[in-house]
Structure 1
């Protein structure tokens, strides 16, 4: 690996880490946000729905801008939008301004989601090996740090939380992967095998349904159902993230040794058992055990989804056409992320308005689909055997 690629890999990992840190820092504070703005489960679901929809819009904007400006430039812009949204939402003097801040945050989240994965896929192509699981592991590590910060700063004045906005600003200055101007550019984006890609996308929907439900509603679940101490509700998220992060950090090697299809099916079995434990838990410590197992089970679904989608997009294509196809696919594929987030954040809250035990049945049902959908990940197995995953233009 050259020095430039090494620096780019660290920068991309930093972007994932900062995004995860800020996101989990906010979601683990949802009980406090609910109290501050007097939001019930349905009202909070509505706010989350708005944020998810605007994140989808941000991802589509990234699809338009990345081919013109390059994904590194759009990623930097997205990080700055993210920072502005956090600052406005935390320091808001009224509910209206708070909602506007979350709307800005949502749009920035979509920009960073799409371009961060574009950068990771481009890096994977240039290195010629699987790296997406460890890149997503950096997001999880950031989430762990965010949850720890929440646990350690539960009593700080609310305005101090706005300091989180400084992190995306710092990350925007990192040396991301520059576009390779030596490769031919093309605007051809036809003949993308969307049917096969949709099958992989459905697995991404299932994952984000589970992941968002755990991150968004886990702390609320411990608070509402079990009356867990307020300063410990972040434990719904922290062990989940630690377990997920550990699996992701070794996910590159696991994929190469076990294969994506087998790895996903084993993970789905663990996730199913974990959600049964969460739903049937008699006490909050048992629920925490369930969330921890859940992190182990679903950890590699998202990164392997992007690898498989990029491989399908770039299959049987010359380099220039492959670039154009993957540019289109990475941003659009990211929409499956928000479909899952919609189900996880909004449907879990809406179905669980009376009891979040019932709400967590939504991800329980979704995870069953992973057993069947795993077969669509054969292209990721090809990647782990040494074939190129394709790349977006950096």
Structure 2
């Protein structure tokens, strides 16, 4: 196992396997915190008397500020490296979580979510910068395993939400210790390059945008499931409040299994067939969710959905880094900007689903049910310039 982890390492100040574990820890931290917050949205909504429209506006704020954080990450990383910028983002998130959890008034709660949104964007962008840098050191695809770490962290968060369903919301503040611990992890150092060096090499944005559109679709579906799934179970199919996290737990479990198997599936069948099959499965899964007569049926639909869309994000970031080329400064710039597609998708999934579903979340979930089928034609881009498995 150790040989497999270190295969492709090169000499450097930081061992690649240590950097891989550190980056995986960051992804897991992100998943843990994000799912810990979203699975408690029904409780926060009850505490602050928020309806679907108010929740949609708060999610819109988080998405927009996360986009701002991603842009800031690109600018700062040029001068301070992605590792240093990542640590800053983790610190911001660690400060925001206790504020959200223990806010004494609604205004403080909103302010905490705003700070969390900025930190979310910084950590999203820089953790993916680190991931593609480590993948470059390994000289083989490993992005699915990083996103699998995010999913694992999300599973832990969903499990904690189920176990602590009757605990006060302020107890969520203890999770701030996790990003604080991640500050000390040995991330991969990157040479700091002057801004002009990253800009003089042209970037092939056209194919990157095509891959980015698939990422938009994924995050629209993924964010809809994770932010509105618990509320859907509570309000549309009358699930007990203490079990609403079941919208997320099976979804993440299926996603984790498929992400761990993702490298092998893509290596055997190619990215395009895997993505197209997953998109069709995801649409059928959302049909089950929308038409579910009871909450156990809806939970089964969310599980199938997790299996269908699981590998879209890691394959997207890997493809974008490959298209960008091997220059570290250019790759960092491309990944930070490519990460913006994440928030466009989040905007569609979180806000549009809530607004369309203000009267009925069944109608709201019909949006990602149709939208996910856009991955079928977009999947062709992932195979362009890549040799088919088994061919010279």
Q: TM-score range by the shorter chain?
A: over 0.9
Does 1:332 pair with 2:337? yes
| Offset at residue 17 of structure 1 (A) | 0.3
| Offset at residue 379 of structure 1 (A) | 5.0
Does 1:18 pair with 2:23? no
8 Å contact kept, 2:45–2:51? yes
Deviation per CA, 1:88-111, whole angstroms, max 9, x where unpaired?
A: 111111111111100000000000
Does 1:370 pair with 2:375? yes
User: For the residues of structure 2 that align with 1:121 and 1:356, how far apart are their CA atoms?
Assistant: 37
In structure 1, runs of 5+ residues without a counterpart are: 387-394
Determine the structure 2 residue equivalent to 1:49.
60
Does 1:151 pair with 2:162? yes
Determine the structure 2 residue equivalent to 1:135.
146
Deviation per CA, 1:173-228, whole angstroms, max 9, x where unpaired?
A: 1111111589xx93335421111111100100000000000000000001001111
TM-score w.r.t. length of structure 2: 0.93
Q: Structure 2 matches for 1:1-394, cutoff 5 A? A: 1=6, 2=9, 4-179=15-190, 186-314=197-325, 319=326, 322-378=327-383, 381=386
| Offset at residue 323 of structure 1 (A) | 2.4
| Offset at residue 362 of structure 1 (A) | 1.1
User: For the residues of structure 1 that align with 2:200 and 2:90, how far apart are their CA atoms?
Assistant: 27
Determine the structure 1 residue equivalent to 2:3.
none
| Offset at residue 380 of structure 1 (A) | 8.2
Deviation per CA, 1:148-171, whole angstroms, max 9, x where unpaired?
A: 000000111221111011111111
Alpha carbons of structure 1 residues 384 and 165: separation in structure 2 relative to 1, 3 Å: farther
| Offset at residue 24 of structure 1 (A) | 0.2
Match of 1:114, SS state, is: helix
How many pairs are equivalent? 379
8 Å contact kept, 1:261–1:381? no
Is 260-269 or 186-195 further displaced after alignment?
186-195
| Offset at residue 383 of structure 1 (A) | 10
Match of 1:250, SS state, is: helix
User: For the residues of structure 1 that align with 2:78 and 2:390, how far apart are their CA atoms?
Assistant: 29
User: For the residues of structure 2 that align with 1:376 and 1:13, how far apart are their CA atoms?
Assistant: 27
Alpha carbons of structure 1 residues 286 and 327: separation in structure 2 relative to 1, 3 Å: same
User: For the residues of structure 1 that align with 2:213 and 2:26, how far apart are their CA atoms?
Assistant: 25
User: For the residues of structure 2 that align with 1:339 and 1:384, how far apart are their CA atoms?
Assistant: 33
| Offset at residue 63 of structure 1 (A) | 0.6
Alpha carbons of structure 1 residues 68 and 128: separation in structure 2 relative to 1, 3 Å: same
User: For the residues of structure 2 that align with 1:160 and 1:189, how far apart are their CA atoms?
Assistant: 49
